[in-house]
Every structure is written in C-alpha cells, then in structure tokens.
C-alpha cells in the first residue's frame, strides 16, 4: 500500500488504496461490506453474460440482456468482531418483497420481489483459516424466486431444501441452468436431469459432490 508522503500532494490513488485496505485488507470483512465482496465474486464468474448493476437503490444486483434479474444474498459463520460459540447464530437471508423500486428518479410503487433468481452465498469456514475474500470458501445456492417461501427471511436449512450447493467453479453453469428453466445437462442415457433446485413441482435437486 502506498504510504502518505510528508510533502507533496496526496493523490486520489493513495486515498483509494488506503480505503480499500481498511475495508478489505483483513480476512474477515464487516457485515456492511461483505455483500460487496460476494457480489464481486459473482460478477467475476458471470460477466460478461450478466451485468453487475447493484447501486444505492437498485432493486436487483445483476441483469441480463434478455431481462432476467438476479439478487445476491450472503451470510457467514465468522464475523469481523470477537465471537464466542454462544454468540453464533443460524444463517438467515433477507428475502422480503420490496415496496417498489426507482426507475431513474421515478419511484415505481409495487410490492414484489424484483429479481427472477436468487443466489444465496454461505461462508461456512469457522476456524482461523476463514477468509471472506477467498471465493473457494463460499458455497452458493441458486433458487428461482417463484420457489421462495412467502416470509421475509429464509434460513440456510430451508435454502438447502430448495437447491443443492455448489462451489464457485460451478456457479456459472448452475445459474445458466436455472435461467434456462432448471433442467440439467444430458445424462449418458439421454435424459435431462434437474440440477440446481426445485424449479418446478416435478423436479428434485440432484446431489452434487464437491
């Protein structure tokens, strides 16, 4: 990281680097910023097919040229503050419908979930090797919005009932399958196999081994 000079003008690059180091320089990232880390991981995987469009008042995090929208939610076992076993809580994700969204500076009032797909990311590493910035330490669950329960939050146990977890290397494939309707690749006998979640009433998740 560039050090501040006792003389001369302080550059924008210096402040950028110092702010980035303060925010993301440690393995455990604060709750306020960890979502940005996960979005960056997802963006690195899905671009250029998907556009990273999350912003201050965005109603979804990624969209595609055909109009599909994707929302990212995350939770982690280890937090940036001191923890004990008694303070650990089960992972939950916010899935509450929003009361509307902005189109430019115009508010469109409509209570709904605005994304078509949700990616739930869970960081399960509980020991001192935990690093929220490491894509390999996250497990991802891709769920169609229509499969989500009606409540405002959903627990990890329920998410695991709706979708099979995958690692970062398989996330692009799983999202593509979900976006296409939830049918997996052809098996050796020529059958199409469900893979990423309960996309319709007739499908059952296939257990993937990672």
pLDDT for position 73: 98
Residue 115 CA from chain centroid, whole number: 13
pLDDT for position 82: 67
pLDDT for position 80: 84
Encode the chain (210 residues) as per-residue pLDDT tens digits: 555 555 578 999 999 999 999 999 999 999 999 999 999 999 999 999 999 999 888 999 999 999 999 999 999 999 888 666 545 678 999 999 999 999 888 999 999 999 999 999 999 999 999 999 999 999 999 999 999 999 999 999 999 999 999 999 999 999 999 999 844 332 223 333 443 444 332 333 333 322
Kindly report whether the global pTM for this prediction surpasses the value 0.85. Answer: no
Calpha distance 142→139 (Å, rounded) = 10
Calpha distance 188→191 (Å, rounded) = 8
pLDDT for position 57: 83
Beta pairing class for 50-52 and 192-194: unpaired
pLDDT for position 190: 32
- The phi and psi torsions of 99 (rounded to 5 degrees) equal -80, -10
């Amino acid at each position: 990281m560039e050090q501040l000079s006792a003389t001369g003008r302080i550059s924008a690059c210096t402040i950028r680097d110092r702010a980035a180091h303060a925010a993301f320089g440690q393995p455990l990232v604060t709750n306020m910023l960890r979502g940005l880390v996960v979005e960056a991981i997802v963006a690195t995987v899905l671009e250029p097919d998907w556009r990273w469009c999350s912003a201050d008042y965005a109603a979804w995090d990624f969209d595609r040229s055909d109009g599909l929208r994707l929302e990212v939610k995350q939770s982690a076992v280890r937090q940036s503050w001191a923890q004990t076993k008694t303070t650990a809580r089960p992972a939950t994700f916010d899935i509450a419908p929003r009361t509307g969204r902005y189109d430019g500076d115009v508010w469109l009032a409509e209570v709904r979930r605005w994304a078509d797909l949700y990616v739930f990311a869970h960081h399960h590493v509980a020991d001192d090797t935990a690093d929220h910035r490491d894509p390999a330490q996250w497990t991802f669950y891709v769920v169609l919005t229509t499969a989500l329960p009606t409540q405002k939050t959903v627990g990890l146990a329920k998410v695991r009932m709706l979708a099979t977890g995958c690692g970062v290397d398989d996330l692009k494939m799983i999202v593509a399958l979900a976006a296409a309707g939830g049918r997996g690749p052809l098996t050796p006998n020529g059958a199409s196999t469900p893979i990423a979640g309960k996309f319709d009433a007739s499908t059952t998740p296939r257990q993937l081994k990672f």
